[in-house]
Amino acid sequence: MDPIRNPYAPGAGQRPPELAGRDEQLAAFEVVLERVAKGRPERSLVLTGLRGVGKTVLLNALRGAAVRKGWGTGKLEARPGQGLRRPLSSALHQAVRELGHRDEDSVDHVLGVIKSFAHRDAGAAAKLKDQWSPGIDAPAVRGRADSGDIEIDLVELFTDLGGLAADVGKGIGIFIDEMQDLGPDDISALCAACHELSQSGLPVIVVGAGLPHLPAVLSASKSYSERLFRYQRIDRLSREAADRALEAPAADEDAAYAADALAAMYDATGGYPYFIQAYGKAVWDLAPRSPITAADVAVAAPEAESELAVGFFGSRYERATPGERDYLMAMAEVAAAQDEAEGDAVLSADVAANLGKKPQSLSPARDSLLKKGLVYSGERGRIAFTVPHFGRYLRERG
Ligand SMILES: Nc1ncnc2c1ncn2[C@@H]1O[C@H](COP(=O)(O)OP(=O)(O)O)[C@@H](O)[C@H]1O
Ligand SMILES: [Mg+2]
């Protein structure tokens, strides 16, 4: 069919033509927005899930909902080894601009606090030229959010922002993607600041997204984090939602799927959103005409799989060293051999046994894979792939 009209959008963070199966999260967030703007107690929201399930696009959609309510919003993506001050300052600068508060002096004060918060990044003794600035013209407000203790500084910063938002009866939403990659000090300060916010009723919320072990990261940092955040597991789509993800965009282009084609698609994709987009794209291009049939799906499968092998699996696999690849392969073998009821996670001890090595000798490889975000450990002693179907990919690649 006409590739120019192909509606599907495989790719990290790519907005899907139809955001299927997330109505519940979107509706719940509307309530959160209303409550927070009214100063009611609300927990911050954290989306967790494997790679490719649609956390980033859902986070963006939630941000869009906040913008439509007139909120000030800002987003950042955490990166390993990078401090929170700079990206957060940029995000908050954006949020203040979006808020559109009319009183220039109040806005300049808050922007000045953001600036002094950012300046503290280089350390107190830094020369002016080393100070990084988030493009803010207002003069820095010395003595506010610049103590150097990130926890104190965040609380001061959020308090001033919350005051500004409360003035206009709106809120501030801070959206943090790949939240598990924040450093331990930043995580702990963020928890403390959210704790403070929840008590003061200020209209500021943090909405995070990250890998499945993010709740464990947060609770290891602050034991009260379980009460602070509402965790939403983002998972593969139900059959019904997966069908809608494929059918609705096709219908917009006057195309359709035969019933057996939809069944074949769900079989191949397992309902994982990234796979749905990749298969949808490949099938559309290769099918001779609408309606798309199961036979078309079979013809397009190798094309879809090779796209995924490059764009989704390969780019991650390439980050692993040869030793780490052996570890990944052993994980894949152990996972294939174990009972389905045991889930996707495998015991690190079984991986070591599979490789005929002592567990301790493998901990550098394991730690490095954890740092690279290829595997995660949600439970002590267990380890799992962050990428769905990764074990199958490895076994097939041999
Ligand atoms: N609810 C959904 N319905 C249909 N497609 C989706 C949905 N959520 C995500 N996708 C698609 O899945 C892919 C991965 O989304 P992304 O948000 O990057 O996942 P994650 O951040 O969890 O790794 C993208 O191609 C996106 O268009
Ligand atoms: Mg993402």
pLDDT in tens, 232-287: 999 999 999 999 999 999 999 999 999 999 999 999 999 999 999 999 999 999 99
Mean pLDDT of the 336-356 span: 89
CA dihedral (347, 353, 357, 359) in degrees, to 10, reads 20
Judge whether 23-233 and 322-397 match in fold.
no
Write the pLDDT tens digit of every residue in 77-136: 999 999 999 999 999 999 999 998 999 999 999 999 999 999 887 655 555 555 666 788
Q: Does residue 60 surpass a pLDDT of 70?
A: yes
H/E stretch holding 335: helix 322-337
Q: Which atom of ligand 1 is nearest to the CA of 49?
A: 22
Write the pLDDT tens digit of every residue in 304-315: 999 999 999 999
Q: Quote the CA–CA distance of 173 and 41 in Å, as a whole number.
A: 15
Helix axes 273-286, 239-252, angle to 10 degrees: 40
Tokens for 288, please give them: 């001779």
23-233 maps to which CATH number? 3.40.50.300
User: 41: CA distance to ligand 2 center in Å?
Assistant: 28
Q: pLDDT exceeding 70 applies to what percent of the chain?
A: 97
Write the pLDDT tens digit of every residue in 150-184: 999 999 999 999 999 999 999 999 999 999 999 99
Put the strands of the sheet holding 229-233 in their side by side order: 72-77, 172-177, 204-210, 44-48, 229-233
User: 319: CA distance to ligand 2 center in Å?
Assistant: 17
Mean pLDDT of the 378-392 span: 93
Residue ID of nearest Cα to ligand 1 atom 27: 16
What pLDDT does 342 receive?
Answer: 74
What pLDDT does 226 receive?
Answer: 87
What pLDDT does 67 receive?
Answer: 97
Per the rule left: phi > 0, alpha: psi between -120 and 50, beta: everything else, 81 is: left
Mean pLDDT over each residue of the chain, to the nearest integer: 93
What pLDDT does 124 receive?
Answer: 52
CATH fold of the domain at 322-397 = Arc Repressor Mutant, subunit A (1.10.10)
- Cβ(292)–Cβ(257) under 8 Å? yes
What pLDDT does 43 receive?
Answer: 87
What pLDDT does 341 receive?
Answer: 72
Break the chain into its structural domains and give their ranges: 23-233, 239-317, 322-397
Which among 22, 179, 277 is the best mutation to test ligand 1's pocket, defined by most ligand atoms within 8 Å of the CB? 277
Its pTM stands at 0.95
Which among 274, 389, 390 is the best mutation to test ligand 1's pocket, defined by most ligand atoms within 8 Å of the CB? 274
Is the C-alpha dihedral spanning 308, 313, 316, 321 positive or negative? Answer: negative
